Amino acid sequence: MSLTDWLKSLFTTRGKSLSLYRSGMAKANRRDYNGAIADYSEAIQSPHVPPDVRAMAIYNRALAYSAIHEDEHAAEDLAAVLATPDLPDNIRLAAQQRRERIRRRGEDDKDA
């Protein structure tokens, strides 16, 4: 992508949302989960965010919440992802598996 195309993409709704999403991913990779959650949340709340970007941001925000053991927020986000219409099967399966791991972790915590 040329510099001009990249700059233009920052001014589209999809481009802004993707930029926030990518920033969240970079922060999560650096284990700055609170920063990642903030970026994902902003991407999700952007006006006219494309549905695929919104679903990806919600899923990744759930992972960040899970990483800091905010399992209730993670479970809420995963439920939102699973309620997304036309969700690809691989994302649906990943969200279901993650939700089950969070549920089991909660049970293990109660047993301890």
- Give residue-wise pLDDT tens across range 19-71: 899 999 999 999 999 999 999 999 999 887 888 888 999 999 999 999 999 99
What's the domain count of the chain?
1
pTM over cut 0.85: no
Question: What CATH number is given to the structural domain containing 40?
Answer: 1.25.40.10
- Taking each continuous run of H as one helix and of E as one strand, the counts in the chain are 6, 0
Task: Note down the domain range covering 100.
Answer: 3-111
Q: In angstroms, rounded to a whole number, what is the distance separating the alpha carbons of residues 36 and 32? A: 6
Q: Which two tokens stand for residue 91?
A: 């994302």
